[in-house]
């Protein structure tokens, strides 16, 4: 990934936070010699194999992607954080200096070699972890209790995997290369946006840019 120095983020807890918060990821590799992508939720776990941790998940057994896991071929996982169009009208300096629209965003790329985990006990444990993670915010969490026969059939239809992370790349394009007054203008516009994703992007600007929050504002 092309990462200008202004947008380069290396802080591990920050990158891991993005992977956890925006965990519906894109796994990119090859199948039958051509690029192939699978969109899926992944959980980040500690791993003795990597200081960055490991990603765990599963694919449908009918998905040909997992068959490429049998090699030592590295794959890419993309975690896409919030993003938004940025209008030149938000830059106070645009009144005296020409500028163009752009798109700001947060993304993390993780690389590693997936390892198949096809035993039923590991798969069932991973699925319960997945359910517990995404049911946690529900007013009445689904307990995940199903008939044994039904569960066994479902487990046979999927393939689990674990991907120890070999390297991480973080790119937070938040206008760090703009004048502070322009950063403030973008922040104010994103903060007032009707789109939740734009407002989330504004929160990432705090700390990364020269942002002064209005007195009494709620984060």
pLDDT tens for 98-156 read 899 999 999 999 999 999 998 889 999 999 999 999 999 999 999 888 999 999 999 99
Share of the chain above pLDDT 90, in %: 84
Q: Which residues pair with 77 in a beta bridge?
A: 27, 110
pLDDT tens per residue, range 53-79: 999 999 999 999 999 998 888 999 999
When pLDDT is averaged across residues 32-59 and rounded to a whole number, the result is 95
Does 203 have pLDDT greater than 50?
Answer: yes
Domains and CATH numbers, the chain: 5-177 (2.30.110.10)
The three-state secondary structure class of 204 is helix
Q: Which one, of 90, 84, 91, 88, lies nearest residue 172 by Cα?
A: 84
The three-state secondary structure class of 55 is strand
The pLDDT, as a whole number, for residue 219 is 46
Show the tokens assigned to 176: 């760090």
Helix residue ranges, H only, the chain: 12-21, 120-135, 148-156, 180-191, 196-208
Does 197 have pLDDT greater than 50?
Answer: yes
Task: Give the span between the Cα atoms of 195 and 151, in whole angstroms.
Answer: 39
Whole-number Cα distances in Å, 198 to 84, 103, 184, 204, 218: 5, 11, 14, 10, 16
The pLDDT, as a whole number, for residue 190 is 97
The three-state secondary structure class of 217 is coil
The pLDDT, as a whole number, for residue 215 is 63
- Rounded to the nearest integer, the mean pLDDT of the chain is 93
């Amino acid at each position: 990934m092309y990462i200008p120095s202004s947008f380069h983020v290396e802080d591990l807890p920050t990158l891991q936070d993005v992977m956890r918060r925006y965990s519906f990821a894109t796994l990119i590799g090859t199948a039958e010699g051509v690029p192939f992508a699978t969109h899926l939720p992944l959980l980040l776990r500690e791993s003795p194999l990597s200081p960055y941790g490991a990603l765990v998940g599963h694919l449908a057994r009918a998905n040909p992607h997992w068959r490429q896991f049998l090699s030592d071929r590295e794959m890419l996982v993309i975690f896409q954080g919030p993003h938004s169009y940025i209008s030149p009208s938000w830059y106070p300096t645009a009144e005296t200096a020409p500028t163009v629209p752009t798109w700001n965003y947060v993304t993390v790329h993780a690389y590693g070699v997936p390892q198949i985990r096809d035993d039923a006990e590991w798969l069932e444990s991973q699925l319960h972890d997945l359910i517990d993670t995404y049911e946690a915010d529900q007013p009445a969490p689904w307990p995940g209790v199903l008939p044994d026969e039904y569960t066994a059939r479902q487990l046979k239809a999927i393939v689990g995997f674990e991907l120890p992370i070999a390297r991480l790349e973080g790119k937070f394009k938040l206008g760090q290369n703009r004048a502070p007054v322009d950063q403030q203008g973008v922040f104010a516009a994103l903060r007032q946006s009707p789109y939740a994703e734009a407002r989330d992007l504004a929160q990432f600007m705090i700390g990364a840019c020269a942002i002064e929050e209005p007195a009494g504002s709620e984060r």
